[in-house]
A and B are shown apart, each in its own frame.
Chain A
Amino acid sequence: MPLLEVKELSVTFTQYDRGLRRKKATAIQDLSLSVERGEIVAVVGASGSGKSLLAHAILGILPRNASVGGQMAFDGQPLTASRIRQLRGKRIAFVPQSVQSLDPLMRVGRQVRQAVRAGDPAEEQRMAFARYGLAPLTERRYPFQLSGGMARRVLVSIATVSGAELIVADEPTPGMDPAVVQETLRAFKTFAENGTAIVFITHDLEAALAIADKVAVFHAGTSLEVARAADFEGAGDRLRHPYSRALWRALPQNGFAVPDLGANEPLSRSAVGCSHARGCALATIECAKTAPKPRELRDGMVRCYHAT
């Protein structure tokens, strides 16, 4: 049984257009994802594809004008709004994307200690800082005295000291130097080996492949494919979706092929058809008419008529 199961999730925003006319904008549609204990699932996609909103939906911190559809379950029980409130900070931890997420007027050591749920807070905090290469003096610093990379390591510390069973990490690595990125990724891997489930949201496919077991390729508010990390190899022939293949081939070591990846805009404006239809070599009239439903394929998921 997966620890976290997301089924047909949708996130819709109600906005006021000119005057008092209400407008609905769909940011995530028909998204399914599951994470087992001890598993790292990477969610990879360009910025604006709705990755962060997925994280915010799991943590129940979407803005007030957002409405959530579909089902989520944690450890076999439905993840309702009130259940999320009980779980977050205890069994579900979050690594936010913004470095502004640290309280500007509180020493960072204290912010880490407040997240500790079991054991000696000071001890746990020092161990976490040592693990991510933060000098002991850092605990006396205020956020404005830290570099972006240091602030991210503090955020990762906060998530990991909580002892949560599920960590949702939203772009935890930008601004860190490569050695620290490796260290952080290794730490995630260690946590996973000890049974923690990790949702690793990133736009960095390489970083994702370094640690992930499964990769969900995100585009325009939904996942086009869920592949095993091992499927990303060679020319990408084992990948199911043309978009994932294009993403893989765009990496420097795979030839830097820059394809037209299609518009990555909110679904409401390109509601009909496959979001990748424009710019896809395999696209047919069918693709432009109705969006393909997700289907199982070779121990993964794909949302494409032409995938084999």
Chain B
Amino acid sequence: MAAGRQSGIGKFALRQAGKLALLLASACAVTFALISQSPIDPTQAYIGADLLRVGAEQREAIAAYWGLDDPPLQRFWAWMASLLQGDFGTSMIHRAPVSEVIVERFLSSFALMIAAWLLSGILGFAAGVAAAMRRETWLDRAIKWYCYALSSTPTFWAGLLLLIVFTVWLPIFPVGLGTPAGVPAGDVTWLDRARHMILPALTLSITGISNIALHTRAKLVDVLASDYVLFARAKGEEGFLLFRRHGLRNILLPAVTLQFASFSELFGGAVLVEQIFSYPGLGKATVEASTRGDVPLLLGIVLFSALFVFAGNLLAELIYRWVDPRIREGQSE
């Protein structure tokens, strides 16, 4: 039995690795195809403001040096070959290796995304539980109304609203950036960073909250109508005890899974939110890379985000496999 389980895990890992390889390969191909068809002229983007000082001859030299005149397929293979050696190329905007830029930007984005992810997960779960336990009361109606309102609110609009309220009317939080302006990097405290992160994290978590709250509410309503909860009531369990014994464990797993699977929305949301708050993260880097034609950086970010979303989905699946006894012990039977 143990051997059977081992091979089951091996098979699972192999299948996931295959999926990942296929995903990354197709992400590379599609992104490369789209960018080679885009109106961005890499030479132009590279030269930027130095337009007047660079002559036509020099531009041709740059294009030849980069191999821009080669057929697209050949350029694709050249890019892939260096990619496989770990060379993502050099970012034109930042004049630094793409991998370095991504790592640096991701670290500041990561703090933002984790904060928003935890906030939406915890608040959403609690709101969903409260709504289901007090079903058909004013509390339930208020939470549902809030969720529907928020899930039909565009993130950027919610962000602007928060900006108006909390930086203009009530100047509690800074308007933007990741650190205070005009303060040397060495003097920036942990508290400064946290204060700059609150509004963006709040904005980013808003849509996540309604998603997880509505899902949790529906699931808990189902659980509360189940035979085992009816039986638990007949055994004299009620209120919080009933929820802790039979509600929590039966709704936690789907909620956690959903939350891990929401990495794609998290990343997509970060792009918008970082733009609104001028927060120096990966999302903002994405927008800059695409508007200013930084092709190597854009390709790098696309690959990285695909990996990030894949990791979220993989975690969701692993948690389900290892935590749900129906799957975990069902395999070893």
**C-alpha gap A264/B329 in the complex (Å):** 44
Contact A96 B250, CB 8 Å, known A142-B326, A145-B333 = no
Q: Give B330 Cβ to nearest chain A Cβ, in Å.
A: 7
Query: Which residues does chain A contribute within 8 Å of B249, judged by CB atoms?
Result: 103, 105-106
Query: Which residues does chain A contribute within 8 Å of B333, judged by CB atoms?
Result: 145
Return the chain A residue nearest B231 by Cβ: A101
Cβ of A89 within 8 Å of any chain B Cβ, yes or no, is yes
Do A89 and B226 touch across chains, with their CB atoms under 8 A apart? no
Cβ of A98 within 8 Å of any chain B Cβ, yes or no, is yes
**C-alpha gap A96/B231 in the complex (Å):** 7
Return the chain A residue nearest B253 by Cβ: A105
Counting chain B residues whose Cβ lies within 8 A of the other chain, the interface size class is 20 to 34
Return the chain B residue nearest A64 by Cβ: B136
Do B329 and A142 touch across chains, with their CB atoms under 8 A apart? yes
**Stretch in B34-42, B233-241, B256-264, B284-292 with 4+ CB within 8 Å of A:** B233-241
The B-contacting residues of A in range 72-121, CB under 8 angstroms, are 85, 87-90, 93-94, 96, 98, 100-106, 114-115
Cβ of A274 within 8 Å of any chain B Cβ, yes or no, is no
Do B231 and A85 touch across chains, with their CB atoms under 8 A apart? no
Cβ of A144 within 8 Å of any chain B Cβ, yes or no, is yes
**Secondary structure class of chain B's binding surface, majority of residues:** helix
Cβ of B17 within 8 Å of any chain A Cβ, yes or no, is no
Contact A61 B233, CB 8 Å, known A100-B228, A103-B250 = yes
The B-contacting residues of A in range 106-147, CB under 8 angstroms, are 106, 114-115, 142, 144-145
- Bitwise interface map of B from 283 to 313 toward A, beta carbon under 8 Å scored 1, else 0: 0000000000000000000000000000000
Do A103 and B228 touch across chains, with their CB atoms under 8 A apart? yes
B228 in complex: contacting residue of A88, A93, A101, A162, CB < 8 Å: A101
Cβ of A158 within 8 Å of any chain B Cβ, yes or no, is yes
Do A88 and B235 touch across chains, with their CB atoms under 8 A apart? yes
Cβ of A40 within 8 Å of any chain B Cβ, yes or no, is no
- Kindly name the residue among B227, B231, B237, B253 whose own CB sees the greatest number of chain A CB atoms within 10 A: B231
Cβ of A205 within 8 Å of any chain B Cβ, yes or no, is no
**C-alpha gap A59/B236 in the complex (Å):** 9
Do A96 and B234 touch across chains, with their CB atoms under 8 A apart? yes
Some 21 contacts from A to B, beta carbons below 8 A apart, are A60-B233, A85-B236, A88-B233, A89-B235, A89-B236, A90-B236, A94-B231, A96-B227, A98-B227, A100-B228, A101-B227, A101-B230, A103-B249, A105-B250, A105-B326, A106-B245, A114-B235, A142-B326, A142-B329, A145-B333, A162-B235
Interchain residue pairs A-B with the least CB separation, the first 10: A89-B236, A101-B231, A100-B227, A94-B234, A89-B235, A98-B227, A59-B234, A101-B227, A103-B228, A88-B236
6 extra A-B contacts, CB within 8 A, seeds A102-B228, A104-B326, A144-B325: A61-B233, A89-B234, A90-B236, A103-B250, A105-B253, A142-B329
